[in-house]
Amino acid sequence: MVSVGTIIWLSSELMFFAALFAAYFTIRAVSPELWAQETEKLNVPFSTANTVILVASSFACQWGVFAAERGQVGRTGSLLNVAKWGLREWFILTYLMGAVFIGGQALEYAELMHEGMTIPSSAYGTMFYLTTGFHGLHVTGGLIAFLFVLGRTYLARRFTHEQAVTAIVVSYYWHFVDVVWIGLFFTIYVIK
Task: For residue range 77-110, list pLDDT tens digits in order.
Answer: 888 888 889 999 999 999 999 999 999 999 999 9
- Is the Cβ–Cβ distance between 84 and 76 less than 8 Å? yes
- Is the Cβ–Cβ distance between 164 and 152 less than 8 Å? no
Tell me which residue range forms the domain holding 111. Answer: 2-190
Task: For residue range 10-31, list pLDDT tens digits in order.
Answer: 888 889 999 999 999 999 999 8
How far is residue 30's CA from residue 33's CA, in Å, rounded to a whole number? 9
Task: For residue range 127-169, list pLDDT tens digits in order.
Answer: 999 999 999 999 999 999 999 999 999 888 888 888 888 999 9
- Is the Cβ–Cβ distance between 127 and 27 less than 8 Å? yes
Residue 40: other Cβ atoms inside 10 A: 9
DSSP state at residue 156: S
- For the ranges 22-31, 34-43, 46-55, 73-82, the maximum mean pLDDT occurs at 46-55
Q: Flag whether pLDDT at 2 surpasses 80.
A: no
Q: Flag whether pLDDT at 7 surpasses 90.
A: no
- pLDDT for 44: 96
CA nearest to 56, candidates 5, 109, 96, 14? 96
- If one counts the domains in the chain, the total is 1
Cβ within 8 Å of residue 33, ≥6 positions away? none
Q: What is the CATH number of the domain that holds 115?
A: 1.20.120.80
- Is the Cβ–Cβ distance between 185 and 131 less than 8 Å? no
- pLDDT for 63: 97
